[in-house]
Structure 1
Amino acid sequence: MAEGKLYEAALINDAATLHRLLEKDPLLLERVSCTCSNKTPLHVATMKGNLRFVQEILNRNLELAEVLDSQRSSPLHIASAKGYLDIAKILISAAPDMCLSRDFGGKNPLHLAAIKGHVRVLAELVRLCPLAAREKVDGGQTVLHLCVKYDRLECLRILVPVLNEEIVNAKDTDGETIMHMAIRDKQVEIIKYLVETGKINMNAQNSEGQTILDILDETSKDATNSDIRKILQPSLWKSRGPRTQPVKWLTKKRDSIMVVAILIATMAFQAGVSPPGGLWQENLTEDSKGNPVPNPHYAGESVMSYRHPKYFRNFIRVNTVAFVSSLSIILLLISGLPFKRRFFMWFLMVTMWLTVTSIAVTYGFAILVTTPKKYKQSLSHVVETAIFVWCCVMGILLLGNTVRLIDKWLRRKGIVIRPLERFRNSAEVRVKHGENGSQESV
């Protein structure tokens, strides 16, 4: 009977009735908190926004602030979802740990405030318990994902400035950031704000390898797409401009490239001073009768130069190219040249191509010279074919990169060559189709 009157008083904010009931039964609130299987009077008073009744209950029994209902919701969950700032402040002071409590949906009070768009409650919760903003709901979504999902721009304005970039760029279980979600839903104002913050990783990929531009290309084409592209363009160019990725790769691989260049230089030097077939160990200018020989040689000279003069000349040429180009790579890497410029990246690539190709050709000549005659004909055909194919492949790559360099230079000058433009577009289409096909096959 008393419990029923207590709930009725909670509904109508009747603090006087609460006082009378507690005078008759001082343990009434304790008994309710232990026996209640659903919502306590504090839950009811909070749902109705009855601030005075909430204060009176908490003055008598603070433990009720920690009692959960059948949905595992605390009174603070309800106050946050309803947007009752004053009640939320009282409940937080009574039970601060409830800021991190999760209901059956995996949401804490801060999540609910963000979903409902209650900015003042959200700001108070973040101020008093910033750890709550790091918690994720089911599906791996952060409170920022919820703000984007429910189009709560003002809530984002509260949260993004106080959270670090790791949280702002956090991904859900599908690998999508808040920018992926905003692009997919074409939320122009949210996209504009996120770009302005400067905290967004514009190159982030979801679990399917899609960037924000890939998702934008998938959406229906309308005027909103153009507006979004205009918003994204400056930040995309700044964050991933055409020079960023090669420079990052070169920075990471610099030491490895240096080691390879030193190794090739050592191999080329050794092959130069000690060519295949070895060196003559003694002079031979006369025969046993003292007559001059038709083809004399001296100690320290290459045997290969006498037995295979044609091969020897070509061997020395390509070996010298390998040696000089590998030394050039070493100098380029330690000279501090501005590799952010495309020309220097192209020059380094050409030098590496010469180095690797030259050492490969040097190997081919060495094998041909040291191979017995009975195997030489068949082996020479294999070696020549392999070297020819290698040079063709490397030549195509070199030509392609050279054309790209020239095209970029012309585009900066405002000159667009239509055949190159069509080639680029068709190449991008083929790449996209290839990626889509591989994803479907998986």
Structure 2
Amino acid sequence: MADFTQKIIENIRENLRNEVDWSGSTPLHFAASVGLKGVTARLLARDTTGIERADNKGMFPIHIAASVGAIDAINSLVSTNPDCATLRDEAKGRTLLHIAIENRKCNVVKMVCKSLSFKDTLNMKDNDGNTALHLAVKIRDESIFRYLLGNKAVELNHVNGVGYTPLDLAKNIKMEYRFASRQNPTEWMIRALAHSGAHFSPHRRDERIRANKSEEKKAHGKNLSQSTESVLVASALIATLTFAAAFTMPGSYRIGSPKEGSPALGAFYGFKVFLVADIFAFFFAVAATFSLAEYGNRGTVDPLVRCVYARLSVGLFHVALKSVIIAFAFGVLVVMWGISINTIVIVGLATIVLVFYGNVPLRHDFRLLWLMYNRFGFSRRWDLYSSTSSHLDWTSRRLRSFSATLAWNLVKLLWTYILIFVLAYFAQLKQKS
């Protein structure tokens, strides 16, 4: 393919290398859009004048390459003419970095952030005054945002055309989705920016507070009902399964003994763990189902009240789900103990994975830890500035201190498991006594 392309390029007449089609595109535009390795470099070896020639939309070849994620084409263009790294399209004033972010080309953003050739591009603004960091916050892409914030050369407090910093934009997006989950990317971006030393622009705080319009409340209420339907179904299913499990104990029941009808494996500590976990799962699932059915999903309840109960039900559902995981694991453990060690090992490993799987706050904490290390090392305290924490209404130390937040999220992850094992331990002690 490369040899065939080379022959075509060699046979192009000199006067055709800069000819344009109906869209104003030159052969170099097409080569950049294809992204095949070596094609752009071979074309540039014949003629470099097309690098700074825009199409009818004001896009230069390097912008086309960025929009499709063609790393090889970008490198060929920049190595031939380093100045094209800072070219801005004629329509919106965007650099290749702006265009890559708008098209979610994470590979291009990663390359730009790691290469010194693009250092001058990192903080350039488009016609609306937005830097690359502004756009990363707008599209709420965690990977792109992480690469930008991890680069020390990226400025955090540039204001755009309407006077907003990236932190302002993130806060505004959060306010537009006031009923959204706290695990959303915007929540993490706000924390990352705040702990990195970003500031709000000097606006009055009352201007940031939006009125609760009735139309907005109705729209949020509808979205809330749709988003919690799956939780309602799942929590009801967990309640049904755990109710049945309470009367079909693992290992069956004793027959023909003084304790006839009691669980055959009831003397084992693992059985106590299973039983406590099953009880936890049932009652927390019932509580989650009730919260949603009675308050969270009823259109006659005020959206603000529904939001409170919806979040409460999600928390209850998480506890029920964690308890089901432990109940299943220890149910298998007590039945298969001494029979199949391989089964126990497989179930144990799967349980450990499930314990940490899907824990977005904890994952965000470790991502933030790595991000802060890349940007500052361990030479800076990561607590918030007082003005920033005041604007965010983060007054407690749990919110202002990164280490306190990490500890709190670890407690939220593990308290259910710890309580199950502790209660089972006391039940075992009482039985022995």
Name the TM-score class by shorter chain.
0.3 to 0.5
- Which of structures 1 and 2 has the larger relative contact order (alpha carbons within 8 angstroms, sep 6+)? 2
**Which structure has the larger Rg over C-alpha atoms?**
1
If each structure's helix is expressed as a fraction of its own residues, which one has the higher value? 1
